[in-house]
Structure 1
Amino acid sequence: MHLVPASDAQKLQLDALTYSEWGRLLTLEGYLSRELRLRAHPWARADMRTWLLCADDGAVLASCETFRTGSFQRAPGGALLPGDSFAIASVFTEERLRGHGHATRLMDLLAAELERQPRAHAALLFSDVGPRLYARSGYRELPAWDWHLAPSPGAPGETVDSLLRESDLGPALDRMRRPELPFFFWPTPTQLDWHLERGRIYVEHLGCSLPQSAGATVGGSTALWGLVGRSAELTVLMFDARSPAEAIALLEAARREAHRAGLSRVVLWEEPGNASLLPLVAGATRIARDGSLPMVRPLRPDVHPPALLPVPRGLWV
C-alpha cells in the first residue's frame, strides 16, 4: 500500500462516491457543485490536498483531505513561533472495502507524510465515529461540549458596540487574545470565510436568510459567527469574552441575529477560555456534542498540545 495525492479526475470520482455520506439536503448534482465550489475557495486552493491510499495495483482503498492551518509554539521567553498544522477531513472507505484496516493504514501513512513537512506542528481531526479508530494512530481526544441558546427578538446591535461584516474578519481576529499556552492552533481570515462560503451554498436549501452580520464587538471582547453548514443555526466560530457582562452582551447579539435570519438557535463550542462564563448566560444549555469530536496528534517530539487545548469551531473541517 502507498499514499498518493489525488488528481483532479480522481477527486471528481470521489465526490460521486461520498455523496451518500455527506450529501444530505442536496441532490447529487448539487453536492458535486458544492465540492467544486469549496475546492475553488481561496483557502482550499492554497491549503487543501486530497490523499488516496492505494493498493500495489493502484486501486483506491481509502481517502481523506488535509487543510493546512496555522499553529504556534510558545518559546521559553514567551515569543510565538509560527508553524503549520494540518486538519484532516472526509476520511472515507467504500463500504465494500471496510473492515480491513485501510483507514488506519491511511492515517499512519499520512502522519508520516505530514511529519516531513518543514514547519509541521500537529494534526487535528474531528471524528464522527468516536475516538477508537483514530487513537490507533496516535490521536488523543479533547473535551467536546456545545452550548445552545434560543433566538431572541430585538435589534442585534443594541447590546454591543458594533456589528461586524464579512470584510471585518481580519481585524476581528487581530483583536482576539491568543491562548497563553505552550501550543495552540489559530485560523486565518480566509479560513473563516471558507465556513461562510458553506453557508452561502446551503442557505437556499434551509428556508432561512444569511445573517446580516458576521459577529460583534463590545469593550475588548469579540465574537465571529455565521450560517456555516447544513443546519439552520447561527454558529459561533470564534469567541473572546473578557468579562461575564461582555460575554452576555455578545451572545444576546448573536441570539437576536439568529432571530432576524430565521435560524433555529445559536451554537457555541465550549473552550477552556469560555467555560466559566457560559453558565452565567441566562437560557444557555450545555450539551454533549454529537460528532465532531476533536482529536490531536503531534507531528514533532517537541510539540506538546495541552490536555485542555482550545479548539474553536472556526478550526473545524
Structure 2
Amino acid sequence: MHLVVADEAQKTERDRHTYAAWGSPLTVEQFLQREQRLRAHPWSRDTLRTWLLCDGSGRVLTSCETFRTPSYLRGPDGQYTRGDSFVIASVFTEPALRGHGHATRLMDLVATELERTQPGAQAAVLYSDVGARIYRRSGYQEAPAWDWHLPVGQGDAGLQVDSLLEDADVPAALARMRRPDVPFYLWPEAAQVDWHLERERIYAELLRRPRPKACGAVVNASTALWAMMARYGELVVLMLDARSEEDAAALLEAAGAQAHKAGLARVVLWEEAGTMPWVARLPEARREAREGSLPMVRPLREGLPAAADIPFARALWA
C-alpha cells in the first residue's frame, strides 16, 4: 500500500464515490458542482490536498482531504510560535473495502508525511462523525463536544446590535476578535471563514432557498459570525467573541432573528468555556451532546496540551 496525492481527475472520481455519504439532499450532479466550487475557492486552492491510499495495482482503498490552517503554540517564555495544523476531512472507504484497517493506515501515513514534509506542522485535527475509537488507533484523542440549541426569533435582527455584517466585512470582523489565552489554539484566516459562506451560497443556489441577510453582527466590542447550514435547517455560529453577558444575548438574538427570516429552525452554537455560563442563562437554550463533528487531535510535535484543553470554534470545522 502507498500514499498518493490525487490529481483533478482522481478527485472528481472520488466525488462520485463519496456522494453516498455526503451528497443528500443534492443530486449527484449537484454534488459534483458543490465539490468543484469548494475546491475552486481561494482557501481550498491554497491549503487543500486530497490523499489516496492505493494498493500495488493502483486501486484506491480509501481517501481523505487535508486543509492547512494557522495554529499557535505558546512557549516557556509566554510567546506564541505560529505554525500549521492540518484539518483532516472527508475520510471515506467504500463499503466493500471496509473492515481491513485501510482508514487507520491512511491516517498513519498522512500524519507521517506531514511530519516529514511540513517543518511548521504542529497538529493534525479532525471532526469525527463515527465516534472516537477508529481514530484513537492513529494517536488521536478527542475533546468534549457539546452544542447549544437556541430558538429562532421574530424580532428585528438589528435592534439590539450596533451593526449587521455582510460577507465583505469578515476580514475586519475577524481582526477585531480576541485570540484565546490558552497554550495552543487554531485560528482561521478570513478565507477559511468565507469558505463556510461559500458553502452557504452553493446550497442556497442549488436548493433554491434564501440566504440570511447578514453573516454576523457587532455590538460594543463584541462580534459574532455565522453561516446557514441549509442541509439541516440551521444557522451555525462560526465564531463568538462576547465581552459581556448582555452582548452575548444581543448577538445571539440577532442570529435568531436572521435564522427566522431565512426559514431556519434553530441556531446552533458550539460550546466554548468562555461563553458557556452566559449562553446557559438564555431563555430556551438547550445543551446537547454533539452527535457528529467530534474534535480530535494528533500532535505532530512535542509540547501540545491535551485535546480537552484546546478550544474549537465552528469556523475551524472542515
The residue number in structure 1 matching 2:240 is 239
Shift of 1:126: 0.6
How far apart in 1 are the matches of 2:276 and 2:155?
A: 26
The residue number in structure 1 matching 2:9 is 9
The residue number in structure 2 matching 1:167 is 168
Asked if the contact 1:216/1:250 (under 8 Å) is kept, the reply is: yes
Bigger mean CA deviation after superposition, 111-120 or 220-229:
220-229
Asked if the contact 1:86/1:122 (under 8 Å) is kept, the reply is: yes
* 1:28 partner letter: V
SS in structure 2 at match of 1:158: coil
Deviations 1:159-215 (A, max 9, x none): 111111111111111111111111100001100111111111112455641011110
SS in structure 1 at match of 2:159: helix
Which runs of 5 or more residues in structure 1 are unaligned? none
Shift of 1:75: 2.7
How far apart in 1 are the matches of 2:129 and 2:307?
A: 22
1:95 aligns with 2:92: no
How far apart in 1 are the matches of 2:202 and 2:210?
A: 12
Name the count of aligned residue pairs: 317
SS in structure 2 at match of 1:268: strand
Asked if the contact 1:206/1:230 (under 8 Å) is kept, the reply is: no
The residue number in structure 2 matching 1:80 is 80
Shift of 1:288: 1.0
Shift of 1:306: 5.3
The residue number in structure 1 matching 2:190 is 189
The residue number in structure 2 matching 1:108 is 108
Which runs of 5 or more residues in structure 2 are unaligned? none
Query: Runs (4+) of structure 1 moved beyond 2 Å?
Result: 75-80, 204-208, 302-308
SS in structure 1 at match of 2:276: coil
The residue number in structure 2 matching 1:316 is 317
The residue number in structure 2 matching 1:131 is 132
Asked if the contact 1:184/1:305 (under 8 Å) is kept, the reply is: no
SS in structure 2 at match of 1:89: strand
Asked if the contact 1:107/1:137 (under 8 Å) is kept, the reply is: yes
The residue number in structure 1 matching 2:27 is 27
* 1:202 partner letter: Y
Asked if the contact 1:182/1:306 (under 8 Å) is kept, the reply is: no
TM-score (norm 2): 0.97
The residue number in structure 2 matching 1:262 is 263
TM-score (norm 1): 0.97
